[in-house]
Amino acid sequence: MNFTLRPMQEMDLVAAVAITVESFSSDGGALGQYAAPRVRERLLSGLRASEYAPRFIVALQDDGTVIGVAGWGKLEFASRTWGLFLSSVSRNHRGQGVGTALVRERLRRIEAESGQGRVLVSTRHRKRFERLGFRSVDYDAELSLHLMLKRLDAV
């Protein structure tokens, strides 16, 4: 499958919100946390320039249709620490490498900007992240979520 990745733009918001709400509602996500208005506000915050503002990228089919969205940002509570969040792929495009490509691109951008530090992610997709160099540091059995960590070396 051919797709491209680029920074999210305002014109991507409607599709990005729909994909995220769909992904997290079918994945057992808390309804309020991933309700459309809250997701939209979170995605909009990524369009504002600020050191700690989240950043988002989208995956696009050749025709420009948004098929995935993913975010990352500096964590204010820990120096040289980044978090990955809101990684969503449309139902029809799952299992085709889009999610892994979104993770790799976020890691590439973090490494280019910071060169060292650590990246945290909370996920049900432990094996995907282990393949990318993350290790599980905690597990929440009630939510079936792994807290995973990847250390970045100096570039």
Question: Where do the structural domains in the chain lie, given as residue ranges?
Answer: 3-152
Length of the chain: 155
Of residues 31 and 54, more confidence is placed in 54
CA dist 112 → 10, 55, 109, 138 (Å)? 24, 14, 5, 27
What's the predicted TM-score (pTM) here? Answer: 0.86
Comparing CA positions, the residue from 17, 24, 67 lying closest to residue 38 is: 17
Q: What is the mean pLDDT of residues 76-92?
A: 91
The number of beta carbons lying within 10 Å of the beta carbon of residue 43 is: 22
Record: fold of 3-152: Aminopeptidase (3.40.630)
